[in-house]
Structure 1
Amino acid sequence: MKKLLLSTAVLALTAACQPAEAPSETAQTETQATAMTGSPEIGSWGFDLEGMDTDVVAGNDFYRYANGTWLDTTQIPSDRSNYGMFTVLAIEAEEQVQDIILELAAQDAANGTIEQKVGDLYGSWMDTSTIDQLGLAPAQPYLDEIAAAETHDDINALFATIHHQSPYGVGIIPDPADTTRYTVFVGQAGLGLPDRDFYLEEDNQSYRDAYLAFIEQIFDLAGMEDGASKAQAIFDLEMRIAETHWSQEDSRDIQKIYNPMPMDQLAALAPQLNFDAGMEQLGLDGVATYLVAQPSAIEAAGQIFEETPVDVWQDYMTFHYIRSNAGALPEAFDAANFAMFGTTLNGIEEQRPRDRRGVNLVGGQLGEAVGQVYVERHFPPESKTAMEELVANLVTAFEGRLEALEWMDDATRANALQKLSTFEPRIGYPDEWQDYSALEVRSDDLFGNLTRLAEFQWAEQLADLEGPVDRDAWPYPPQTVNASYNPLMNQITFPAGILQAPFFDPHADAAINYGAIGAVIGHEIGHGFDDQGRRFDYDGSIRDWWTEETNERFESRADRLGAQYSGYSPVEGRFVNGEFTMGENIGDLGGLQMAFTAYQHHLDSCCDGQAPVIDGFTGEQRFFLAWAQVWRRLYRRDNLINRLATDPHSPSQYRTNGVVRNLDAWYEAFGVTEDNDLYLPPEERVSIW
């Protein structure tokens, strides 16, 4: 059973005239040098000047102006699908976490301690000789229960477990009608390729061909007969499911996916799927209403289920069970899985070393266990204090912008200000760490360890369902390089992993921090007011607090922004989906606007409104350069195609160029005129927040 979560708008983290000559890093002013303490991680004030291409005019391609030399001289590592500033920090955090894991693993820890569990989980992953020797034996009990199914009811019983693939998924989330309690989320599922577009779009035939061959390969590796015909039947089944799936843009529209139903209505929607018995088997019975995301897809899944023979469902579940556990099976399965999902779908040339993959496994599955040590070693208290101040400054800046917003009426403004006042920032790490005492980990049983981890995590979710919503829970461990907004909790979260240069550096020029992490903070705040986040109230409940007139004004601005992004094509013949990426684009645009206002307030409070010129750059120019720097990224073509279909974030060049061309302050900072390629007439520039 695939666990599904309601989208929480997670961030996947983005001259006057240009200097006449390539600027020198030694020209820092005495005033600014005095203002900073310590040495920045990057350059002399927080920006990599050598990565620029000043032969490019800022107003023609600001992304290349700020990053062109880096883009031209950097190569994507052979084990990566893309490479950028997020990757740099992720690798650094990975190395730090690996040191922690190896230290814990080296201890002669007593059984049941967290040190023993960390060490044995990592050790079982690295014990490839035992994995190869065991073959499919660890998976056999689960394959046998699939083989033993004789009826559709038997298949339904397997769907209602956490171990097997099914055409629907469930998860436990705060109830949007009352965010003090949990409810059950039910949504479309069942595909092996990343999205329905991979099945339906003509341009994706090569991916479909490779996937069909991969299915057959899995059966061949497992020593199961008639792999080719089984593969075709499975692919045909998934094609039918894909034809009923909702699009990505519809699946992120809270007004469309918010469909609460009591059990009798859910059961009647797809009676073939036996939801009443299945939910009871999963421990999810007795819930007042179930939140059904894509009702027509669930209804169609019931019809497809009934019309598909039991033996096809058996083959389907067998394939997916082996595929989803490939990393814990002999090397041939692992290699085949990587060839499909790493190389074919993302263009990665070679798989990452197994030890690094093991670090990511432990860092994800026991993330808060190693995260405690990570925070102690790599996240100083002063960084948390500085971030708290930055968040407060961004909130104040946005409050001022809301109060002066000309297109918003007073009634809507009052609700917006109330929502902003209740934002809850979480910085660095959780106040309470996860308890792993109920988890059993063995040194010689990787497959069993992963199975028990899944069961442990599901048991924790079931326990959540019985009580009030835990507002202290974090979506990921502190070493994660990411940030997020949760509309159901009205919380913004910034883990320690992202609070490093180039995003945040306490020793860098203030313009850098405001243009980088300040804009990321603004981005996450902005998610509370993007096209979907604005549907939630100050306490995370779904409520329409917009007047009709102000709603129309918002939608007009959002539609204009979406049209801009829908015209961007990073791969020939393929375009950004402006509707699917709308929330992230609004977050980027509003976040940079908020951060620029906060930076101006900072200058007013410290420097009489004036920033010194450093290396020929004004404070305003440095601010926008900081934003461009954090979005340095190279993509492999297949990965970019994959992202266009599945990632709600626009490609990095548009997270830079697509944003700045809408901001008057950027035009003023770099002397951009109608002769420049990125120029938009003032009436075509979009300003929302």
Structure 2
Amino acid sequence: MKKTLFLLPLLAAFVTGCPSNSLKTADSEAKPDLLYAALDTTVAPGDDFFSYANGTWIKNNPIPASESNMGIGRKVQDEVYARLRQTSEEAAKANAAAGSNQQKIGDFWAVGMDSVKADQLGAAPIQPELDRIAALKSVAEVPGVIAHEIPLGVRALIGPRVGQDDKNSDKMVLYLRQSGLGLPNRDYYFNTDTRTKNIRAEYLKHVANTFKLLGQDSTTAKANAARVMALETSLAKSSRKLEALRDPYANYHKMSIAQLDKLTPGLDWKTWFGQMGVPNADTVIVGQPEFYQTAGQLLKTKPLEDWKAYLTWQLTATFAAQLSQPFVQENFHFYGTVLRGAKEIRPRWKRVLDMQEDALGDALGQLFVKEYFKPEAKARYDTLVKNVVAAFAEHIQKVDWMSAPTKVVALDKLHKITPKVGYPNKWKDYSSLKIDRSSLAANVMRANQWQWQYQLNKLGKPVDRTEWEMTPQTYNAYYNGSNNEIVLPAAAFAVPGLLDADADDALVYGYAGASTIGHELTHGFDDEGSQYDAHGNLHEWWSKDDRKRFNQRVAGIVKQFNGYTLLDSLHINGRATAGENIADLGGIVIGLDAFKKTKQYKEGKKIKGLTPTQRYFLGYALGWQMHVRDESLASQLLTDVHSPAQYRVNGPMADVPAFYEAFGVKPGQKLYRPDSTRVVIW
């Protein structure tokens, strides 16, 4: 994926200050230039290109108290929110036909915004599920309760999902992944630094406070919190690290149901899957067998009271944001403030819109593209995709480390990548989803159930390769290895504060061509995506020598990013972030060659004293125009396969000779790397 930290809608205006800048020349135009206005020319490009490109914008756009970061996506989402809010308010007032998308949007919004009703209900919306857990008489009944909660959206203990078989992309199969933790990942349970130890202590308090909100006395709540922590720590011990989850072969273990039963003695998976609504699964792909061995053992060794505490916690944590204010605030305090550093909770209407996006994203998407993604914009980006693909093909042909036979297969894969631009040709049908004004939590539960059933219905049926996994109003993009496709939502192309027609090619090729299109194309050829063939199957299509030479280059970028230190002592995980770092570097060099074919590049005219090539690199940096609270940054370093924004700019730029030439980067400057150490892949 292109973006990190958040998935946000896009399209709005913003205002930046204009620095006193020696680059201002007679050819400067009267209208504001968004790249020029963001510059901080007190910083040398060769020392910190990220701060040079974005410094003034960052100074003029502090992080709001309700946010853990502020960036280009955060700034622009407010106007989309305003538009979606108006749409939702109008739908809530309309006498829409029962079952229509307008009725669902309106009712979801109306009950979501009714904070008085939510406070009156308290935990009542989840009380039947709490009662189900409280009624457990033996550990043997625990799997049945877990199975009941899976469709509701609770991922206690196990993590089933439906997806394409990595080795047979024409077949939809059931996967089992590690799951069931309340902290972001396994490292939070074991790291011994002061920051993480404090988070563990705060987590224990948070779980106990949540139990108190459910009516437990302080002593009982603390005891149950300790039970939760102990059980989750056992699961965490058998959970794989972030970087280990990126190896598709190591996380692919196809098993029959009988083999799965043998892996977890005492569990009857056929019955268990049946309780989840899974239709006659004969095989399953287990990502992390050791995790499920532990899960099976825990179901034999942990006492019933531990399971009651754990299931109660997992259920309540899943729906806390939809309950009364005490639950909402307690949930925010830990996950928003302790983990992410936000000082105050976001306005209710924005939180409701986020929930509505999760529940009815395609219904909102139809309205979005009709008004905000015009045919001429789609045509521009369809053409841009073709130009970047052509540039990538030239790069594959020219690389000196890949043999001619492998190049033939690589080019075949590249030309078979399906680009999906803007929005899907067909939308999800929500006719079977019931949305009413009973409670916000009830609507979220039913939406989760609908989504679970939607996924289960794919089993045993032909793969729908036309489907999108993001809505068009999402500020993000992705490469799907199983479909060999790049998916580019309409919002990913919008430039805040600038009409598409007014954006010069340099900006567009850097912002969209490099950081989005080229980035996603390169994911098909990064350390993970390169293991999938043109049809989307996990299959080695490289020669051994080519793979060896490629891996040597990957090792170079891993070493480079391992060397970046943040927050005094924390390091980027070069192995976990390798795929994204490769895609960033690939996107930049491929996008640049595509840009070199444009009229703007060939004419070489300056805008605000900036050459076309300089504007191209600044356009790329525009995509990472953000700053982040320390708490959020620390969390990202442990949980995210994307490097922090500053290093998604400075890291790859340090490897690009054209960047050195464009900005006169010299030995002794902080970004300078000798030729011999610069990473060259695509």
TM superposition score category, shorter chain reference? over 0.9
TM-superposition CA deviations, 1:356-380 (whole Å, max 9, x none): 1111221221111121111111111
Q: 2:197 maps to what in 1?
A: 205
Secondary structure of the residue aligned to 2:565 is coil
Aligned amino acid, residue 623 of structure 2: V
Task: Answer with 81-90 or 497-506: which moved more.
Answer: 497-506
Quick check: 1:101–1:370 contact (8 Å CA) kept in 2? no
Pair 1:181–1:231, CA change in 2 (3 A)? same
User: Which residue does the alignment assign to 2:14?
Assistant: none
In structure 2, the partner of 1:254 is 248
Distance in 2 between residues matched to 1:660 and 1:433, nearest whole Å: 39
**2:253 is matched by which residue type in structure 1?**
N
Task: Confirm whether residue 191 of structure 1 aligns to residue 178 of structure 2.
Answer: no
Q: Secondary structure at the match of 2:420?
A: strand
Alignment of 1:408-419 (within 5 A): 408-419=402-413
Q: Give a deviation string over 1:594-634, Cα, whole Å, max 9, x none.
A: 100101122xxx36834212222111111111111221111
**Aligned-partner Cα distance in 1 for 2:551–2:654:** 20
Superposed, 1:209-608 pairs within 5 Å as 209-225=201-217, 226-501=220-495, 505-519=500-514, 520-602=516-598, 606=599
Change over 3 Å in CA distance of 1:244–1:10 after alignment to 2: farther
TM value normalised by structure 2: 0.94
CA distance in 1, matches of 2:211, 2:591: 54
- Within 2, Cα distance between the matches of 1:92 and 1:25? 34
Aligned partners of 1:232, 1:152: CA distance in 2, in Å? 19
Looking at structure 2, the residues matched to 393 and 508 of structure 1 have their Cα atoms a distance apart, in angstroms, of 17
Tell me which of 612, 636, 647 is aligned to 1:654: 647
Name which of structure 1's ranges 614-623 and 127-136 shifts more when overlaid on structure 2: 127-136
The farther-off stretch of 333-342 and 456-465 is 456-465
Match of 2:604 in 1: 611
Q: Displacement of 1:25 after TM fit?
A: 7.9
Q: What aligned pairs does 1:3-152 form with structure 2 within 5 A after superposition?
A: 9=1, 11-12=3-4, 21-24=21-24, 27-28=27-28, 43-44=32-33, 47-152=34-139
Q: 2:664 aligns with which of 671, 674, 679?
A: 671
Query: Where in structure 1 are there 5+ consecutive unaligned residues?
Result: 1-8, 34-38
User: Shift of the alpha carbon at 1:285?
Assistant: 5.0
- Distance, in Å, in 1 between the alignment partners of 2:559 and 2:169 is 34
Summarize deviations over 1:643-677 as a string: whole Å, max 9, x none.
01111110011011101110011111111121322
SS of the residue aligned with 2:339? helix
The aligned amino acid for 2:37 is E
> Contact 1:105–1:118 at 8 Å: present in 2 too?
yes
Instruction: List per-residue Cα deviations over 1:37-70 (Å, max 9, x = no partner).
Output: xx8xxx34xx332321112211111111112222
1:639 to 626, 632, 635: 632
One-letter amino acid of the counterpart of residue 650, structure 1? S
For the 8 Å contact 1:207–1:345, the answer to whether it is kept is yes
Counterpart of 2:22, as a letter, is A
Secondary structure of the 2:596 match is helix
CA-to-aligned-CA distance 1:140-182 (integer Å, 9 cap, x gap): 1111111122222200111223234422210000112221220
CA deviation after TM superposition for structure 1 residue 129, in Å: 1.7
Per the TM alignment, residue 126 of structure 1 is displaced from its structure 2 partner at its CA by 1.1
Shift of residue 302 of structure 1?
1.5
- Aligned equivalents of 1:487, 1:558: Cα separation in 2: 19
Contact residue 58 and residue 626 of structure 2 kept, 8 A: yes
Give the conservation status (yes or no) of the 8 Å contact 1:428–1:496: yes
Q: Is the 8 A contact 1:90 1:480 kept in 2?
A: no
Q: What fraction of aligned residue pairs are identical, expressed as a percent?
A: 36
Equivalent residues of 2:35, 2:618 under 8 A apart = no
CA contact (8 A) 1:588 1:655 kept: yes
Q: Cα gap change, 1:607/1:74 in structure 2, threshold over 3 Å: closer, same or farther?
A: closer
CA distance in structure 2 between the aligned counterparts of 1:221 and 1:466, rounded to whole angstroms: 44
Task: Quote the Cα distance in structure 2 between the aligned partners of 1:295 and 1:319.
Answer: 25
CA distance in 2: counterparts of 1:430 and 1:608, whole angstroms? 33
Structure 2 runs not aligned, ≥5 long = 7-18
1:538 partner SS: coil
Give the residue type in structure 2 aligned to 1:118: I
Please list the CA deviations of residues 177-198 of structure 1 after superposition, one character each: whole Å capped at 9, or x if unmatched.
2212200110111110001111
Q: How far apart, in 2, do the equivalents of 1:146 and 1:428 lie?
A: 44
Partner of 2:146: 159
CA distance in 1, matches of 2:552, 2:80: 42
CA distance in 2, matches of 1:408, 1:272: 50
Native 8 Å contact 2:270 2:281 kept in 1: no
2: CA distance between counterparts of 1:458 and 1:629? 37
Inter-partner Cα distance in structure 1 for 2:510 and 2:307: 52
- Comparing 464-473 with 644-653, greater Cα deviation is found at 464-473
1:681 aligns with 2:667: no
Mapped to 2, the partners of 1:284 and 1:438 lie a distance apart of 18
Alpha carbons 1:100, 1:374 under 8 Å: kept: no
Structure 2 counterpart SS, 1:466: coil
Relative to structure 1, is the Cα distance of residues 661 and 13 closer, same or farther in structure 2, using a 3 angstrom cutoff? farther
Contact 2:341/2:632 (<8 A) preserved: yes
AA of the residue aligned to 1:630: G
- Report SS of the residue matched to 1:132: helix
Q: Is the 8 A contact 1:439 1:456 kept in 2?
A: yes
Relative distance call for 1:13 and 1:506 in structure 2 (3 A) is: farther
2:2, 2:519 within 8 Å by CA — same for their partners in 1? no
What is the distance in 2 between the residues matched to 1:570 and 1:376? 43
Letter in 2 for 1:23: L
Q: Is the 8 A contact 1:504 1:516 kept in 2?
A: no
| Corresponding residue number in structure 2 for 1:6 | none
Please give the alpha-carbon distance, in whole angstroms, between the structure 1 residues aligned to 2:266 and 2:563. Answer: 43
Backbone CA RMSD of aligned residues = 1.9
SS class of match (2:479): strand
Contact 2:228 2:309 in 1 (8 A): yes
Counterpart Cα distance in 2 of 1:274 and 1:134: 38
Alpha carbons 1:89, 1:481 under 8 Å: kept = no
